Structure 1
Amino acid sequence: MVLVNGEPASQVDVADRGFQYGDGVFTTLKVLRGVPLFLEAHLARLERDAARLFLPVPDRAVLEAEVRQLCGLKPEGVLKIQWTGGGGGRGYRRPDAPTGTRVLGLHPLPDYPATLHDQGVAIRVCRTRLGINPALAGLKHMNRLEQILARAEWSQADIREGLMLDTGGHVVEGTMTNLFLAQGGRLHTPKLDGCGVAGIMRGWVLVGAAELGLAVEERRLSLDEVRAADELFLTNSVIGLWPVSRLEARAYPVGPISGAIWRWLTTKIQAALDPSGPISH
């Protein structure tokens, strides 16, 4: 089910700037039991990202109503909310008063084995590098060609994710996830001031680590530091948290820190749902 500006649709105007130039932002979240998880945080991020790109800020009340409409029709899935620069003539210059286009789609949940949360995943390092551009750093904008190229580098079903470095050689993120490493009882995650996406689940992990008394540092990370970590784990709003069990030839334990963070996240997810029953991962 897809809504375009509030109407059921399967297409957008070919003149839309999101289609023509990738001029827009988006956010993706999980829906369980009819509840869009962490919706407020996702909409706040969408508004911040739109403002940073000098797009008009979408009407939150309208978005919330359309989210409720979709979740009422399909209680589980992956909800993608896109906000574009709207229609416009040819050329990069936006209209003087862009109106924006809303596209909300609710799609089936991916068929990830539940055991990945406990057993971990195998990942690799991608050859494709992320360009450094502080003006876009942290944003979930609609230009994803770097991630598309990186994801095209492998087809093995047992490799769940690929790590991406920037052109300076620092590890930034996965193609669809944020990265955390544990070393000596401390958490580290790449600093996202040059490129990368500041994921909603990444933000919750930072909050959870503070509540659990874990020190966290956001900083530049080399590939050697990542390989030498005691634990690695990945996060996004659909998978939640995946421990890393193998990075190419190096094996990692599913350790206590990733376990503690995942239990904390699970309580937050459960709190958003009917507390009378267990959640389905």
Structure 2
Amino acid sequence: MWINGTPASLLAASDRAAQFGDGSFTTARVIDGEIQYFSAHIERLKKATQRLMIEGVDWTALSAEITHAAHLRGEGVVKAIISRGVGGRGYSPQGCSTPTRIVSSSDYPAHYHQWRQEGVKLKLSPVALSQNTLFAGIKHLNRLEQVMIRLHLDQTDAHEALVVDTSGILVECCAANIFWRKGYQVFTPELSGSGVAGIMRSHIISLLEQSGIYTISIVQQTPEILREADEVIICNALMPVLPVRQADNGYFTSSQLYDFLHPVC
């Protein structure tokens, strides 16, 4: 792990990442020492810091640190965090002038290989996401909702969660975005109120728009809509795409969309 470019594993207790979850992050897959979708990950961090009004990030240094971590790891995962830094009193960020950069690496989640072969099971989570247009779409450091979703999920035999917002609208999974297919029509949840607009989600939307085969619609629907689907997939930057075999009481055997996406994701 590196903090502001220096090998370290301890973060100042006064850093606003620890005090308030004041920052954002991205998690990237590393193949042959290279970050996959590198520019998209940097752009994601930039959008988040703009939304959170975090200024003064040394993007050149951060890019170099991420690249260095990827080269050392070879195969696996690199995570980059930007905190507003140390300073300020209470909630006020006044006095914070230097954001903190945290870069770490880890092994690739081995279970994703098995899940690609066997497919995954989803179960509706009892934890709903709050709606807030200011934070919707970005990957900020306040992940308590996802922690609680994962805690509940760990008590089941499912691999991932179906997550709704407080109005009951399907948003995403715990750590993935979701798509479903009916014929040649593909759908994914609209994320203006809550959820994370993942890098792989954006990539898949672009692929489908250019496919000449499928249409893609961004919709607001309850989880019951999945009962009408021919196929369901989930995705994130690490998976990157997984077939869903069961979503609550719905079962799926088709892999038409997965077979189309898997070679190009």
Are positions 1:23 and 2:22 aligned together? Answer: yes
The answer on whether the counterparts of 1:47 and 1:57 sit within 8 Å (CA) in structure 2 is no
Structure 1 residues 85 and 31: CA distance shift in structure 2, 3 A: same
RMSD between aligned residues: 1.4
1:217 alignment partner in structure 2: 217
Report what 2:54 is aligned to: 55
- 1:15–1:89 contact (8 Å) kept in structure 2: no
| CA-CA distance at 1:228 after TM superposition | 2.1
Q: Is 1:205 aligned to residue 165 of structure 2?
A: no
- Render the CA deviation track for 1:230-278: whole Å, top value 9, x for unaligned: 111000011100110011222111321121012222xxxxxxxxxxxxx
Question: 2: CA distance between counterparts of 1:253 and 1:57?
Answer: 50
| 1:262 aligned partner | 262
- Alignment-mate amino acid for residue 241 of structure 1: V
Q: Deviations over 1:110-149 (max 9, x none)?
A: 1215242243111111000000101111010000011110
Q: Distance in 2 between matches of 1:165 and 1:227?
A: 16
- Please tell me whether the aligned partners of residues 51 and 57 of structure 1 are also in contact (alpha carbons under 8 angstroms): no
Per the alignment, in what secondary structure is the counterpart of residue 152 of structure 1? helix
Map of 1:270 onto structure 2: none
TM (norm. structure 1) is 0.90
Q: CA deviation at 1:74?
A: 1.7
SS of aligned partner of 2:141 = coil
Partners of 2:85 and 2:96 within 8 A in 1: no
1:170 matched to 2:169: yes
Query: 1:132 is matched with which residue?
Result: 131
1:243 aligns with 2:240: no
Answer whether contact 2:180 2:229 (CA < 8 A) is retained: yes
Deviation larger for 243-252 or 152-161 = 152-161
Please give the alpha-carbon distance, in whole angstroms, between the structure 2 residues aligned to 1:113 and 1:49.
27
1:40: Cα distance to partner? 0.6
Deviates more, 1:207-216 or 1:195-204: 207-216
TM-score by length of 2: 0.95
Q: Is the Cα contact below 8 Å between 2:56 and 2:98 reproduced in 1?
A: no
* 2:112–2:239 Cα contact (<8 Å) kept: no
Share of identical aligned residues, percent? 33
Hey, what's the Cα distance between the residues in 1 that align with 2:131 and 2:164? Answer: 10
- Corresponding residue for 2:152? 153
Deviations 1:77-130 (A, max 9, x none): 111100011001430000245311000000111121524224311111100000
Aligned to 1:227: 227
Question: Aligned equivalents of 2:36 and 2:42: distance in 1?
Answer: 11
Q: Which residue of 2 aligns with 1:107?
A: 106
Structure 1 runs, 4 residues or longer, greater than 4 Å off: none
Following the alignment from structure 1 to structure 2, what is the Cα–Cα distance between the partners of residues 111 and 254? Answer: 24
Deviation string 1:166-200 (CA, Å, 9 cap, x unpaired) is 00110000000001011131110000000000000
Q: Would the aligned equivalents of 2:230 and 2:254 in 1 still touch at CA under 8 Å?
A: no
Distance 1:156 1:32, change over 3 A: farther
- Structure 1 portions without partners, runs of 5+: 266-281
**How far apart are residue 224 of structure 1 and its match?**
1.1
Report deviation, 1:221: 1.5
Aligned residues: 264
CA 1:11–1:216 in 2, change beyond 3 Å: closer, same or farther? same
In structure 2, how many angstroms separate the alpha carbons of the residues matched to 1:174 and 1:118? 20
